[in-house]
Every structure is written in structure tokens, then in C-alpha cells.
Amino acid sequence: MLEADRREVYRYLGLRGREPDAGTAQTVEEAVAALQEAVEPKQVSRRFPLKRDGDGGLDIEGLRVQSAALSRNLSGCDEVYLMAATLGLGPDRLIARAQAVGAMHLALALQAASAAMIEAWCDEVNDGLRREAAGRGKVLRPRFSPGYGDFPLDAQTGLFRLLGVQKTIGVTLTDSLLMLPTKSVTAVIGIGDEAIPCPTKCAACNRTDCAFRDERRDTP
């Protein structure tokens, strides 16, 4: 069963490291329990060769990406995993339902808890890929998603096509390239010969005044 890291849930709720009150804690537990019944975790991932073109762009089987941040993340890699993971429509339905009856505190807790759960699910998928890579004497870079830094969301269309995301796990893109179900993640994971330190998640972001910034991650 997928777990939701409570620290992460409370961080998403804006608690900034402080202890939750009893009411909030109870709402969060209620949300996690409901979500554990409702999620349908699915994933698809595949390994692709990584090529670089002359002007610093990346080419993954025809998917061309111009992104300094991703290039840095993938330096020294000649292969990548593409992955897509989702919790299915269950969380979206629960959130819509909570909002429809005006239970905004529950909607918010569901939102935060399902965000933590999709991260947990991605970590699980990522771990599987890490073991597979280790079997070939390779190590993985931190996963990097379209929308991080200057990695454009436009890459979603090509990534979806390469992995057959819609067909295999049912995730779709909106007109503005957002994913539905909303609790879905796509990512590129570099496959290298040696580990190099690279900033990830909050530490990779220059928004230092963000209300949700995770201070723990500032020093990898």
C-alpha cells in the first residue's frame, strides 16, 4: 500500500516544519485513508539512447530538448530512462467531491496527501530502475521532469508518444500540456557511469521565497 510521508503532507499544507494541531492531523489521516482506497498506481518506463546535437540540444529517439538545466543534469550520460507514473483518477474524484460539499479543509488535505503519494510512487518506480541500472554497473541521476527549471513542458507531447503513455497507463494531456489525472508525473532519469552531485527538487529551484520550500533539500 502506498504511504504518504506525513512530513511532506504537512509541508504541502504550509506548516513549515511546525507540529499540526489535532484537527489538521485528523483531517490528514482521513484523507490518507480515503486515498489509499482510491489510488490505482500505474507506471510505464523505458530506456533510450541519449544523443546531443551540435548546438547543445538533447535528442532522445527524436525527442529534441533545449534545456540548460536538463543538459547539466544529464552530463556524462549516454542513456536515459523515460518514466511516467500516475495514481489514476481516484484522487481527482475525491478532491472534486470534497469541494462539492464545501469541505475545503478535506480537499486541501487530499491534495497535499496525494501529492506526497505520487512522489512516493515515483520513488518506488525510480528505485526499481536504479536496481536495474545497478545490475548493468550504472548509476542514476535524480529524476528531472518537464517544467523543472528551463525544461519546457512542450517536451510532454514527444515523451507521451515515445512511452505510449496514454495507451499504457491512461494519462492524458490537456490543451495546455497539463496531465490528467492530475496526480501524474513524467520524468527523464539520466543513466551514467558515476554519481555526480546535482541539485534536485527544491534545491534546483531559484524561488527561495516559496512557501513550500523544503529547507532540508537545500544542502544535498
Partner 1 sequence: MSDFLKRLGRERLYWDGGTGSLLQAKGLKGGELPERWNLTHPEDVLSVALGYFAAGSDIVNSNTFGANRLHYPDPNELKAIVEAGVGHVVEARRRCHREKDCYVALDIGPTGRLLKPMGDLDFEEAVSLFGEVARWGEAAGADLVLIETMNDSLEMKAAVLAAKENTCLPVCATCVFDEKGKLLTGGTPESLAAMLEGLRVDAIGVNCGLGPVQLNPIVKRLLAATSLPVIVNPNAGLPRMEDGRTVYDLSAEDFSAAMAEIAAMGAHVLGGCCGTTPEYIRRTVEKTRSLPFTPPVVKHRSVVCSFSQVVEIGEKPVIIGERINPTGKKKLQQALRENDLDAVVALGLSQEEQGADVLDVNVGLPGLDEAATMAALVPKLQGVLALPLQIDSSDVQALEMGLRLYNGKPLINSVNGKRESLDAVLPLAAKYGGVLVALPLDEGGIPATAEGRVAVAKKILTEAAKYGIRKEDIAVDGLAMTISADAGSARVTLETLRRLRDELGLHTVLGVSNISFGLPQREVINANFFAMAMESGLSLAIVNPGSAGMMAAYRSWLALSGRDPQCAGFIAAYGQQEGSLFAGGPAARKPAAQASGGTLSDSIRFGMAERAAQQARELLAGGADPMALINDTLIPALDAVGRGFEAGTLFLPQLLMSADAAKAAFSAVKEVLSGANQAVKGTVILATVKGDIHDIGKNIVKVLLENYGYRVIDLGKDVAPEAVCEAALKDGVRLVGLSALMTTTVPSMEATIRLLRQRCPDTKVVVGGAVLTQAYAEEIGADHYAREAMDAVRYADEVFGVG
Nearest-approach distance from CB 74 to partner 1, in angstroms:
16
- Of residues 141 and 183, the one with the C-beta less far from partner 1: 183
Query: In sequence order, which residues have a C-beta less than 8 Å from that of residue 22 and are 6 or more positions away?
Result: none
Nearest-approach distance from CB 160 to partner 1, in angstroms:
7
Burial 109-138 (b: 16+ CB within 10 A, else e): bbbbbbbbbbbbbbeebbeebbeebeeeeb
Residue whose C-alpha is closest to residue 74's, from 59, 63, 84, 88: 59
The footprint of partner 1 (CB under 8 A) covers 13-15, 18, 20-21, 23-24, 27-28, 40, 42, 45-49, 61-63, 79, 88-89, 92-93, 95-97, 99-105, 107-109, 111, 132, 147, 153, 158, 160-162, 166-170, 172-178, 180-182, 207, 209-212
- Of residues 147 and 219, the one with the C-beta less far from partner 1: 147
- Of residues 2 and 197, the one with the C-beta less far from partner 1: 2
Q: Where are the beta strands (DSSP E) in the chain?
A: 42-52, 58-60, 63-65, 79-86, 139-140, 172-173, 179-180, 184-192
Q: How far apart (Å, rounded) are the C-alpha atoms in residues 96 and 110? A: 10
What are the CA-CA distances from residue 39 to residues 142, 179, 205 (Å)? Answer: 25, 16, 29
Nearest-approach distance from CB 33 to partner 1, in angstroms:
16
Q: How far apart (Å, rounded) are the C-alpha atoms in residues 80 and 92? A: 30
Nearest-approach distance from CB 148 to partner 1, in angstroms:
11
Nearest-approach distance from CB 14 to partner 1, in angstroms:
5
- Of residues 100 and 195, the one with the C-beta less far from partner 1: 100
H-assigned helices in 154-206: 155-163, 165-169
Nearest-approach distance from CB 93 to partner 1, in angstroms:
7
**Are the CB atoms for 98 and 104 separated by under 8 Å?**
yes
- Of residues 64 and 219, the one with the C-beta less far from partner 1: 64
- Of residues 111 and 197, the one with the C-beta less far from partner 1: 111
